[in-house]
Amino acid sequence: MSVLVEARGLGKCYPRVFRRSDRLRALLALLAGRASGETTPVLQNIDLSVARGQSLGLIGDNGAGKSTLLKLLTGVLTPTHGSVRVNGRVGALLELGAGFHPEYSGRDNIAMSATLQGFSAEELNARLAEIIAFADIGHYIDEPVKHYSSGMVVRLGFAIVAATRPDLLITDEVLAVGDESFQKKCIRWMEEYLEQGGTLILVSHSMYHIQKLCRQAVWLRQGRMQACGDVFDVTQAYLAYHERKSAGEAAPGRNLEAVRGLEFHVRGMRVNGEEAEALPALEQGAALRVEATIASRDGRVPVVNVGIARADGTPVYGVSSDMDGVQPAPTLDGDFCIVLHFTELPLLPGSYTIRVHPLDSEGLRLFDTVERTLTIKGRSPEMGLVRLAHVWEHAAPLSRSRGE
């Protein structure tokens, strides 16, 4: 497979210009061939390689540098550090109405964009009808672009890019402006384009779109590459990060001294035999074994509660030993130990927290809390928290496949 896009050590900084004299100083420095003084980095050290036929999703918070990276790849911006090589024709849909002149009609802007893409007048004429049909904005095609709604602008922009059949298609979040039917049309077009061997780099905040269209993903965070790889792994890590973020500050740290004075406290917690806080990621449907050792001050038998919550705090499942009519058995050290088994964990891919709490013998008062973070990986595009047992009836096998 040939490499279509290659970026090495890519970085972009913006100069800090506050006073008027800064501009003049920057000008003189640049003319002398030196760097322009103080700068703010927005993108640092990006290494990226996209092979022909690949589809790459770019995700990250606002301001993470996604659009800057796209602009560097398309050559709109010049990198401050590193280099970009693109071995093919790029079609880009970067910003709403970028490259359109508001005073000119849709038709004029099509001609202008086609020239920018390097198309001759004959090639343009051959495709004009196709573009106008795809945009489907009626008589607005002859009206100045300033009278367009933002959806119409996107329609026109996408129609032009689609008609030029680029080797590499780069689209930023703009498609979200289109209405439902147009978005579907675009996604259908992109799927077809990918099937025919096209290459795609897509920025979206919709993980659904990213997972539907891309096989690879890159997560940018504060101008750096946080994660890169299979689309499901990266999007799940990103979503988990967001869930943790929206859960706010984590619960206050466990004060071991204070806990020791309580009637019960957790002496040890092992998940799948691991004592560590950070557990290796589990495959979807794998077995989970939670082992809790509880210290009892007065030698009374505790009730043990085990709960699973999504990283953002949404409870998924909770169960205590007394509900199932069991209790922890004493160990040789005078503690109490119990093990909870989930043979086939039905959790969907994502990040979760497992908590263990000891309760008093009546199961009324809750003492200590110990938690572990659990990551479930997998390629399942199902939605929600768990897979519910299900069967389809009156169904035929799917005829259209996504072609591997």
Partner 1 sequence: MLPDTSSLSTVNTMPTGRLAAMLALALQLARRDLRNRYLGSFSGGAWAFLQPLVQLAVYSFVFGYIFKQRLPGADAPGYVPFLIVVLWPWTAFSEALSRATTAIQDNASLIGKVALPRTALVLAPVMASFAIHGAGYIGLLLVMWLGGVGVLPAGLVLMLPALALLFLLALGLALLLSSLQVFVRDIAPALPQLLMLWMFLSPVFYGRYVMPESARPWFDLNPVSGFAEYLRFVLLGMPAPGLTAYVCSAVAVVLALGVGLFVFRRLQRHFEDFL
Positions touching partner 1 (CB under 8 A) are: 2, 14-15, 17, 23-24, 26-27, 30-31, 33, 36, 71, 74-78, 84-90, 92, 94-95, 98-99, 101, 103-104, 108, 111-112, 115-120, 167
Across the beta sheet with 282-283, what order do the strands follow?
Answer: 282-283, 370-377, 350-359, 303-310, 315-320
**Residue nearer to partner 1 on the CB measure, 197 or 248:** 197
Q: What is the DSSP string of 204-249?
A: -S-HHHHHHH-SEEEEEETTEEEEEEEHHHHHHHHHHHHHHHHT-S
**Residue nearer to partner 1 on the CB measure, 85 or 379:** 85
Tokens of 146: 């300033």
Q: What minimum distance in Å lies between the beta carbon of 34 and partner 1? A: 11
Q: What minimum distance in Å lies between the beta carbon of 100 and partner 1? A: 9
Q: What minimum distance in Å lies between the beta carbon of 373 and partner 1? A: 41
Type and span of the H or E element at 342: strand 336-342
**Residue nearer to partner 1 on the CB measure, 94 or 271:** 94
Q: What minimum distance in Å lies between the beta carbon of 86 and partner 1? A: 6
**Residue nearer to partner 1 on the CB measure, 99 or 285:** 99
Partnered with residue 385 across adjacent β-strands are none
Q: What minimum distance in Å lies between the beta carbon of 16 and partner 1? A: 10
Pick from 42, 41, 43, 66: which is nearest to 56 by CA? 66
Tokens of 236: 């799940």
Q: Is 65 helix (H, G, I), strand (E, B) or coil?
A: coil
Q: What minimum distance in Å lies between the beta carbon of 75 and partner 1? A: 4
Scanning the structure block, which residue is given the tokens 């495709």? Answer: 127
Q: What minimum distance in Å lies between the beta carbon of 89 and partner 1? A: 5
**Residue nearer to partner 1 on the CB measure, 17 or 279:** 17
**Residue nearer to partner 1 on the CB measure, 68 or 296:** 68
User: Which are the contacts of 67, defined by CB distance < 8 A and separation ≥ 6?
Assistant: 94, 95, 172, 203
In this structure, are residues 320 and 360 in contact, taking their beta carbons and an 8 Å threshold?
A: no
**Residue nearer to partner 1 on the CB measure, 39 or 246:** 39
